[in-house]
């Protein structure tokens, strides 16, 4: 299993839909030196974010955000970032500075743009967190999943109830909760998150 890739999937619970988040991401990133577009609709939506091909400063970079309908909300994955263009541009800056330190002055704008590009994924995650917050979606389970069905008599119980209100069966080990790091739905019986491998 690819641990690094898995660490990049986060879950937001609440009424946020893939379309909602995708539209808001496009609005947030389709500006300046970046171009963003939404692909697909419904239960799986992809947003491509890339540096403008015709930008005059810095190298090219691109990544994709995949948003899917999940239990009680959405799952969001930010893909690997394509670095090649930025690396080449940074290399060119380093090389010109090595040949002639004054030449660096001519590449300051490229350098600024490249450093900004290097932080693209962090900026995307930060924006996703902010957009989720303004839509009242979070890593916490939403109210509608805050019921726990008794395994013996199928009665819906309040989350946190130690035993079933109808038949008295213990409910301890089956309590659903969420990983505070990534929002994945887990049960009390688990000590390591199966999604991000952090300790619960
Ligand atoms: Zn029961
Ligand atoms: Zn987790």
3-state secondary structure 130-198: HHHHHCCCECCCCHHHCEEECCCCCCEEECCCCECCCCCCECHHHCEEECCCCCCEEECCCCECCCCCC
Q: Which residue has the higher pLDDT, 142 or 20?
A: 20
Ligand 1 mean position, distance from CA 15 (Å): 29
Strand partners, 185: 178
Say if residues 25 and 56 touch (Cβ distance below 8 Å): no
30-87 pLDDT per residue, tens:
998 899 999 998 889 999 999 988 888 889 899 999 999 987 899 999 988 887 888 8
Taking the CA of 164 as reference, the closest ligand is 1
Q: What is the distance in A from the centroid of ligand 2 to the CA of 53? A: 36
Ligand nearest to C-alpha 191: 2
**Closest ligand to Cα 153:** 1
CA of 55 to the centre of ligand 1 (A): 63
- CA 196 to ligand 2 centroid distance, Å: 4
Tokens read off for 163: 């035993």
What distance in Å separates the CA atoms of residue 71 and residue 20, rounded to the nearest whole number?
Answer: 16
By C-alpha distance, which of 49, 38, 41 is closest to 17? Answer: 41
In this prediction, residue 188 has a pLDDT band, given cuts at 50, 70 and 90, of confident
Q: Distance from the CA of 14 to the center of ligand 1, in angstroms?
A: 27
CA-CA distance, 117 to 83, in Å (whole number)?
9
What pLDDT band is residue 170 in, cutting at 50, 70 and 90?
A: confident
Report how far ligand 2's centroid is from the alpha carbon of 41 (Å): 27
Ligand 2 centre to CA of 61 (Å) is 28
Question: Which ligand sits closest to the CA of 177?
Answer: 2
**6-10, 55-59, 119-123, 162-166: segment of lowest average pLDDT:** 6-10
């Amino acid at each position: 299993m690819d641990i690094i890739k898995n660490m990049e999937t986060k879950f937001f619970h609440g009424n946020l839909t893939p379309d909602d988040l995708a539209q808001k991401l496009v609005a947030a990133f389709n500006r300046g030196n970046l171009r963003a577009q939404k692909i697909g609709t419904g239960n799986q939506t992809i947003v491509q974010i890339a540096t403008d091909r015709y930008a005059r400063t810095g190298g090219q970079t691109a990544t994709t955000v995949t948003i899917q309908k999940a239990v009680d909300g959405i799952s969001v994955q930010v893909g690997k970032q394509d670095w090649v263009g930025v690396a080449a541009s940074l290399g060119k800056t380093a090389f010109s500075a090595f040949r002639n330190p004054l030449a660096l002055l001519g590449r300051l704008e490229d350098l600024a743009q490249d450093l900004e590009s290097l932080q693209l994924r962090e900026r995307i995650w930060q924006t996703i967190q902010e957009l989720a917050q303004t839509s009242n979606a979070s890593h916490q389970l939403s109210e509608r999943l805050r019921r726990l069905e008794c395994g013996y008599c199928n009665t819906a119980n309040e989350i946190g109830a130690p035993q079933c209100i109808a038949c008295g069966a213990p409910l301890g080990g089956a309590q659903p909760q969420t990983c505070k790091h990534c929002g994945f739905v887990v049960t009390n019986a688990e000590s390591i998150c199966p999604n991000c491998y952090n300790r619960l």
